[in-house]
Amino acid sequence: MARTRFAPDRGLTSRMLLTMFFIGLLYVVFVGALIVLLKGAWPFVVIFAGGLFIAQFWFSDKIAAFSMGAREVSAQEYPELHGTVDRLCALADMQKPKVAVAQSDIPNAFATGRNEKNAVVCVTTGLLRRLEPEELEGVLAHEMSHVAHKDVAVMTIAGFLGVLAGIITRVGLQFGMFGGFSSRDDRDGDNTAVAALIVIGVSALVYTISFLLTRLLSRYRELSADRSAALLTGRPSALASALTKVSGQMAAIPTQDLRRAQPFNAFYFAPAVSVRQAAGQAFSTHPSLEKRLEQLGRISAELGRA
């Protein structure tokens, strides 16, 4: 847990550690299997896997922010937005993150960054246009909680192995479809084909396990961020109102725009899907709206009794 006044969450910490342990174990097994199966190509496997991991860790936050259209803005451009972030930083006793805005009608927000020093908190113009000041404060507190708890960095690293396994699976399948497995008739060709099929199978299995692990962590971390934001601001009802507005407005966004945003759902305040679609997604990156509102209702009651 970072040195802030955001409420610590041991459940989140233990889940992050467990996820990182299993992801690390999967990574070692995955790279080891590739080295054994590809034999003579092991230097390429090590260089490729290591290089991609470094790139994913150091540049994924910048790539994600760029892909989502985030642009860092000054206090002169958005004084109210910066003012809200300043108040939350003072309240939470944390370093101020970079503040960015994305030109998008999708009402949403996200945080990214390897650590508190490199953190960026971004909101869309659609969100700024739709929310009241106290609702915006709740959303920003939610995103800053991700930075304080360091779960943004964990999600970035946890997603790496799935990305690598997915790439290898797709490349392998394309290679097979274009006749790469049947280009030779001798025994070496048969062995190569079997090895390639095993690599694809291992990659697909690793991708599936990585996918499930990150989804489980993602759902819990959203509930944790809601809880921490509500306790920090003391206004869970404002965050609940923001959640209801954002989720309800998704249905008014063109389907094409939602599909473009969906690859980044794990980073968003709310998934870029309509309420009806979200209800039918068994492997959603976020808990259901009902579950999030129910938790905020309990916190509101607890604060009222206190």
Residues recognised as catalytic: 143
Q: Which two tokens stand for residue 132?
A: 């009241």
How many CB atoms lie under 10 A from the CB of residue 212? 12
Burial zone of 256 (CB within 10 Å; 0-12 exposed, 13-18 middle, 19+ buried): exposed
Per DSSP, what are the bridge partners of residue 109? Answer: 123
Single out the residue of 299, 294, 4 nearest to residue 145, CA to CA: 4
- The side-by-side arrangement of strands in the sheet containing 98-102 is 70-72, 98-102, 120-124, 109-112
The pairing of strands 109-112 and 120-124 is: antiparallel
The three-state DSSP-derived secondary structure of 82-130 is HHHHHHHHHHHCCCCCEEEEECCCCCCEEEECCCCCCCEEEEEHHHHHH
How many residues would you count in the chain? 306
Q: At what angle do helices 42-67 and 151-177 cross, to 10 degrees?
A: 120
Token output for 155 = 């999600």
Q: How far is CA 149 from the centre of its chain?
A: 14
With a CB cutoff of 8 Å and minimum separation 6, the contacts of 169 are: 200, 203, 204, 207
Residue 262 corresponds to which amino acid? Answer: Q
